[in-house]
Structure 1
Amino acid sequence: MKRALRLLAAATIICTVSQTTQARPMDEDADQPSALAMFGDAVIVRPVMAVGTVGGLAVYTVMLPFSVLGDNEGEAAEVLVKNPARATFLRCLGCTPTQHERKQAEKKIREANAAQ
C-alpha cells in the first residue's frame, strides 16, 4: 500500500511539473483584438457609448450650475463627458481598456526611440 501511494504521489508530481514546463510562449498576436471583437465594438459598443456620451453631456449641462457652485465643474466634465468620449472615439477598435493602454505605451516608446 505504501509503495502504491508513493508511486501515485510521484506520478502526480511529475504530471504537475510537466504541465508548467509546457507553457505556451507569449504570442504578440494574442494582444490584438479579433475580427469578432472589432465587429461587436463597431456595431454594438460604439453606438451605445456614443449615446452614453450624449447623455453624460446632457446631465453635465443640467447640473452645471450646481457644479459651479460646488467648484467641481472640471471633475464633473471629466467623469460625465471626457471619459465616455475618450472611450468612444479614441480607443482602438475592438480593444479592451488594458489592450488600449498597452498599445498607447508601446506607441510612446516607439516615438521616443525614433526621436533619438
Structure 2
Amino acid sequence: MRLLRHTTALMAGMLLSASVLAQENSHSPYQDHVENPGIFAMIGDLVIARPLLLGVTAIGAAAFVVSLPFTLAGGNVTEAGQELVLRPGTETFVRCLGCTKSGYGRSQQDENL
C-alpha cells in the first residue's frame, strides 16, 4: 500500500513536470493563445487537472447558490457568478487538452492534421 502511494505520487509529479517542460519548450512565446502541448501535458491535464477543475466548478456552483441571498443584497450577483462558476467552468470545458490558457488555442499546424 505504501509503495502504491509513493508510485502514484511519483507519477503525478512526473506528469506535472512534463507539463511545465512542454510549456517552456513552446515554439514562440509571443503568440497569444497558441500552444502546442505534448503528450505528457495532455495526459496530465486529462487525468489530474480536468477532474480537479470539474470538482472546483461543482463546489463553486454550490457556493454561488448558497451565497445568492447575500450577493443579491450586495448587488454583485454577476461578479460572484463569473468568479465562482464561469471562470472554473471555462478552464474545465473550453481549454484545449494540455493547454494552459482558456480558449481553443491549438496551433494552425495541428488543426490541419
Letter in 2 for 1:61: V
1:102 CA displacement = 8.4
Cα distance in 1, alignment partners of residues 103 and 88 from structure 2:
16
Which residue of 60, 67, 76 corresponds with 1:63? 67
Alignment partner, residue 84 of structure 2: 80
List, as ranges, runs of 4+ consecutive aligned residues in structure 1 with deviation greater than 6 Å. Answer: none
Q: After TM superposition, give the deviation of residue 103 of structure 1 in Å.
A: 2.5
Distance 1:92 1:102 in 2: 6
1:71 positional shift: 0.6
Structure 2 runs not aligned, ≥5 long: 1-25, 29-34, 109-113
Give the Cα–Cα distance (whole angstroms) in 1 for the partners of residues 43 and 94 of structure 2: 17
Residues 63 and 84 of structure 2 are in contact (CA less than 8 Å); yes or no, is this contact kept in structure 1? yes
Identity of aligned residues (%): 40
User: How high is the TM-score relative to the length of structure 2?
Assistant: 0.61
Which amino acid in 2 is paired with 1:41? D
Q: Which runs of 5+ in 1 are unaligned?
A: 1-25, 108-116
> Could you tell me how far apart the structure 2 residues matched to 1:39 and 1:62 are?
34
Q: What TM-score results when the alignment is normalised by the length of structure 1?
A: 0.60
From 99, 103, 106, the equivalent of 2:105 is 103
Three-state SS of the structure 1 residue aligned to 2:105 is helix
- 1:101 Cα deviation from its structure 2 partner: 5.6
Q: Deviations over 1:36-59 (max 9, x none)?
A: 000000011000000000000010
CA contact (8 A) 2:64 2:84 kept: yes
How many residues of Structure 1 are paired with residues of Structure 2 in the alignment? 78
Q: Which has the higher helix share?
A: 1
